[in-house]
Amino acid sequence: MESLFAQPLFWIITIGLLLLLAFWPGRGPFWRRLQRNQRQQRVLIEDGLKHVYTFRQREIPVTVESLAGAVELNRAQASDLIAQMEESALVTYGESGLELTPKGEAMALHVVRAHRLWETHLADKTGLAPTDWHRQAERQEHKLSPNELDALSASLGHPVFDPHGDPIPTEQGLDAPASFALTDAQPDQTLRIVHLEDEPPVVFAQLVAEGLHPGMAIQLLEKNAQFLRFVGEGEERRLAPQLAANVSVQKIRNHAALPPGSAEPLHTLRVGEEANVVAVSRACRGPERRRLMDLGILPGAKIEVAMPSPLNDPVAYRVRDTLIALRKDQAQMILIERATTKTAA
């Protein structure tokens, strides 16, 4: 009897089934690979549009090299990407170089809005470190639909700015406030930080480590080729010009809106001293901010140092007749005004 494997009909059916499985619409390996390649290409195009949009906002010419660096392609691949965006009527060459068409700008704004809303979500709803917001948001910005963005914005109370101080676009576009680099400010000016550039990440991490954040009021004291010296939230700080260039500020004209000049961080308080809470720094967000408020750290609350630990970190504070332990990095986020120092009986 002839073996089943030797029969032509068996192989015809087997090969037909294999081809059917391989090319099964939407599920077969061929279609999954095709969809994956299409998603990767869409992400590349959206990243390219975001780069063009960002550089145009900063009035920086977009070049093939700058695009290649932004989307991690070589020069030839970046040129091909520009050609594809041109064919799709997303970009065009104008008098000042590569520009977005209305269609391209709408796509770029969608990605920018998704990125900044997701960063706000991470800042307000999670305990993720500020240095991780940008990286996580880049993973999500290509996944959210317009309806999902509207729902996310509503859940966050329709924020106007992201945690870095960047304005969040609406469906109508973007209204960015006028600002300038801290390096362009002059001594004796009173300023408010409106934006910290989050790229490159190493620079942003240094700015965060300095305790800087959007909304922070500062007084520039000195400026030279080596550093800029200023006071913010009761502490004097120094920044190298290379770091200060990544800080955007606005002049403060309404000085009545400033916190009291005697405000300083809680960690400067010593045993036996009392103070009144002025505010919790805007750099403190999400679960950490809610925890401090739940502990009674609210404007007007009296607080005193009860006892230090052997290494002075953490320190026990008394708030509303309750002892709480705060690390130094937490106490730095709480602004106080000193009360009359207690004296031993």
Find the CATH number of the domain harbouring 91. 1.10.10.10
Q: How many residues does the chain have?
A: 345
**pTM to 2 decimal places:** 0.62
In a domain, 168, yes or no: no
Distance of CA 196 to the CA centre of its chain: 9
In a domain, 218, yes or no: yes
pLDDT reported for residue 169: 86
Q: Tens of pLDDT along 212-250?
A: 888 788 889 999 999 999 988 777 889 999 999 999 998
Could you tell me the residue range of the domain that residue 278 belongs to?
264-338
pLDDT reported for residue 189: 86
* Radius of gyration, alpha carbons of the chain: 27
Using a 10 angstrom Cβ sphere, with 0-12 exposed, 13-18 middle and 19 or more buried, the burial of residue 169 is: buried
| Distance of alpha carbon 220 from alpha carbon 180, whole angstroms | 14
pLDDT reported for residue 276: 86
In a domain, 331, yes or no: yes
Task: Determine contact, residues 338/274, Cβ cutoff 8 Å.
Answer: yes
Of 257, 282, 304, the last residue of a domain is 257
- The total number of structural domains in the chain stands at 3
| Distance of alpha carbon 185 from alpha carbon 179, whole angstroms | 11
pLDDT reported for residue 100: 92
Of 239, 257, 275, the last residue of a domain is 257
State what percent of residues in the chain have pLDDT above 70.
Answer: 84
Q: Does residue 187 sit in the same domain as residue 234?
A: yes
pLDDT reported for residue 309: 76
pLDDT reported for residue 260: 46
Q: Does residue 275 sit in the same domain as residue 334?
A: yes
pLDDT reported for residue 262: 54
Which parts of the chain register pLDDT below 70? Answer: 1-7, 10-11, 20, 22-38, 171-177, 253-262, 339-345
In a domain, 222, yes or no: yes
Q: What are phi and psi of 194, to 5 degrees?
A: -115, -15
In a domain, 332, yes or no: yes
Q: Does residue 275 sit in the same domain as residue 320?
A: yes
Count how many Cα atoms sit within 13 Å of the Cα of residue 229 in the half-sphere of its side chain: 5
pLDDT reported for residue 201: 85
Distance of CA 140 to the CA centre of its chain: 13
